[in-house]
Amino acid sequence: MRDQAVDRDSGATARTGRPRMVDVARLAGVSQATVSFVLNDRADIPVAAATRQRILDAAEQLGYRLNRAAQELKLARSTTVGVVSYGIASHPFAGRTLLGIQNAARARGYVCMVVDVGDEPDHGADADAVASLLDRVVAGLIFASPGTLAVQTPTLDPGVRTAFSSCWPVDPAGAGDVRAVILPDERQGGNAAAAAVFDAGHRDVLFLGGTPREWATVERERGLDDAARAAGIDPASIPRVYGDYSARSGYRLAAEAFDRRRYTAVVCGNDLMALGALLLLHERGLRIPDDVSLVGYDDQEALAAELHPPLTTVALPHYEMGALALDALLDDEPLGRLAVTCPPVERASVATPRA
């Protein structure tokens, strides 16, 4: 016989085991069917707002949670989304991608199962991760990366829904039912970064680019050219040097460039390169922004806003890309390829050039 204890104030029966829907109904003073309508978000069944709130309060008081496995069997569909992460776990500033995915999933009654395969995965690791997720009958797969890159997915059945955040499939034909490829608008972001110094009146500008021929580097440089033309400047007149997105390369490249001549502004491939340039300029006795204006890219958490002075930069829309990928995966209509705006973040590292 099951142990029971009666709550004399509410009349509800508390059991030593997991609370059931009937317990929520008893505590809320409604039928079990009404509890089911509310907790399963049945929008087609009208329930008074006060009744709905009473049910939610009762469920919270009892610690009731829906049995998702049973629910999925009943609905004949999965409420779990698989996420294949390419090294996001080791890039804290890009963790907002996962936050965006998880928050959007929660709002739709889904949960996420994340597998991180590292930022330089081999195809075997990818295949094992995908197979593990598909074995759990997920509703679809999101492939997510902290930085833009092409990914080689295992060959997927055309019926498997997929979406890509900050990456794209090398072979779209073998990447399942591709619902969306969500990328940052790096060209627009590069334009915004360069416009910050051109609009302030700078014409003697140095560009410290990231890794040559990478998609993000190429697109940000195209944005630089757009901004230069809009300011009436010949893009070919802007000196450009390239590193590897590290602070060390920013320091080295800035040192080599300023050994040759002085510039009034430096536009950097990312915030880390801007940090390296900032250290070099401080060593040379040059003040930012009084002597040299400085612009980064990424708006890295706990970096860009913490520098002295705080760094003007461009934010990557990690959260928005993750949320859009989740919604696109589950929506009826495919979204296709979408570029998400990279907003400029104005801080204190840019000023008008000195006479």
CATH fold match for the domains 75-183+318-340 and 187-316: yes
Quick check: 93 pLDDT over 50?
yes
Per-residue confidence (pLDDT) for residue 14, from 0 to 100: 41
> For the ranges 6-15, 50-59, 93-102, which has the lowest average pLDDT?
6-15
Per-residue confidence (pLDDT) for residue 2, from 0 to 100: 36
What average pLDDT does the segment 16-37 reach?
A: 82
| % of the chain with per-residue pLDDT over 90 | 70
List the one residue out of 125, 119, 171, 175 whose CA is nearest residue 145: 119
> For the ranges 67-71, 81-85, 169-173, 316-320, which has the lowest average pLDDT?
67-71
Most confident of 56-70, 78-92, 122-136: 78-92
Most confident of 40-49, 94-103, 151-160, 224-233: 224-233
Q: Which CATH architecture has domain 4-66?
A: Orthogonal Bundle (1.10)
Quick check: 49 pLDDT over 60?
yes
Query: Tens digit of pLDDT for each residue in 289-324?
Result: 999 999 999 999 889 999 999 999 999 999 999 999
Computed from CA positions of residues 145, 147, 148, 153, in that sequence, does the dihedral angle turn out positive or negative?
Answer: negative
Q: Where do the structural domains in the chain lie, given as residue ranges?
A: 4-66, 75-183+318-340, 187-316
Per-residue confidence (pLDDT) for residue 1, from 0 to 100: 33
Per-residue confidence (pLDDT) for residue 164, from 0 to 100: 98
Strand order in the sheet with 293-295: 240-242, 205-209, 265-268, 293-295
Question: pTM of the predicted model, to two decimals?
Answer: 0.79
Per-residue confidence (pLDDT) for residue 28, from 0 to 100: 92
Residue 315 backbone dihedrals phi, psi, to 5 degrees:
-90, 135
Per-residue confidence (pLDDT) for residue 65, from 0 to 100: 72
Query: Tens digit of pLDDT for each residue in 175-213?
Result: 999 999 999 999 999 999 999 999 999 999 999 999 999
Quick check: 122 pLDDT over 80?
no
**Contact, 218 vs 183, CB < 8 A?**
no
What average pLDDT does the segment 91-103 reach?
A: 88
Q: Which CATH architecture has domain 187-316?
A: 3-Layer(aba) Sandwich (3.40)
Query: Tens digit of pLDDT for each residue in 252-288?
Result: 999 999 999 999 999 999 999 999 999 999 999 999 9
Class of 75-183+318-340 per CATH?
alpha beta
Between these two residues, 247 and 122, which has the higher pLDDT value?
A: 247
Q: In which band, very low, low, confident or very high, does the pLDDT at 22 lie, cut at 50, 70 and 90? A: confident
Residue 287 has a CB neighbour count (10 Å cut-off) of: 11
Q: In which band, very low, low, confident or very high, does the pLDDT at 76 lie, cut at 50, 70 and 90? A: very low
Between these two residues, 147 and 349, which has the higher pLDDT value?
A: 349
Look over the chain and give the mean of its residue pLDDT values, rounded to a whole number. Answer: 89
Q: In which band, very low, low, confident or very high, does the pLDDT at 16 lie, cut at 50, 70 and 90? A: very low
Distance CA 143, CA 164 (A): 5
Computed from CA positions of residues 141, 144, 149, 154, in that sequence, does the dihedral angle turn out positive or negative?
Answer: negative
**Contact, 233 vs 203, CB < 8 A?**
yes
Quick check: 6 pLDDT over 50?
no
